[in-house]
Amino acid sequence: MAGQLPGGMLGMRHVALFVEDLEVCLRFYVDLLGMQVEWQPDADNYYLTSGSDNLALHRSSKKAAESGQRLDHIGFMIRSAAEVDQWHDHLAGNGIRILQPPKTHRDGARSFYCADPAGNLVQIIYHPPISDRAETS
């Protein structure tokens, strides 16, 4: 890959999982591991945090269950919304397949999705509760 990397990369602090029994998994992560519910957009999705990370639990779809796939995507946190767009341009300019262009979500996050060379779904995301608290370097 050529060129200078855009700034703001905070590392992988986000994982999203498909789970068959959402309520049991929610109890495990909240009651046993001490994570907190950060956001619940609907009955099939929870976003949890332990303060410096983000775990998304998505009720498994029939398609996901049939494939055996449990990992929805991995996410790399970015320091600012503007830097998400810079990362998009950087990756697209280096031939990476963009699956969903940058967009701002209802909770103020901004992200896009691409595929890694093995076909894994990767989200590049500015997520205010984590990104805004990250140390600047």
Residue 114 belongs to what H/E stretch? strand 110-115
Q: How many CA atoms lie within 13 A of 59 on its CB side?
A: 9
Determine whether domain 12-131 maps to CATH 1.10.150.20.
no
- The full set of domain ranges for the chain reads 12-131
What pLDDT is attached to residue 85? Answer: 97
Name the burial class of residue 75, with classes exposed (0-12), middle (13-18) and buried (19+) by CB atoms within 10 angstroms of its CB.
buried
Specify the residue for token string 């060129």: 3
What pLDDT is attached to residue 68? Answer: 67
Retrieve residue 107's tokens. 């909770």
State the DSSP code for 66.
Answer: H
Specify the residue for token string 């901004």: 110
What does the alpha-carbon distance between residue 43 and residue 81 come to, in Å, rounded to a whole number? 28
pLDDT in tens, the chain (137 residues): 567 899 999 888 899 988 888 999 898 889 887 899 999 999 999 999 988 889 999 998 766 667 666 788 988 899 999 999 999 999 999 889 999 999 999 889 999 999 887 787 889 999 988 888 775 44
The whole-model pTM stands at 0.70
What pLDDT is attached to residue 1? Answer: 54
State the DSSP code for 27.
Answer: H
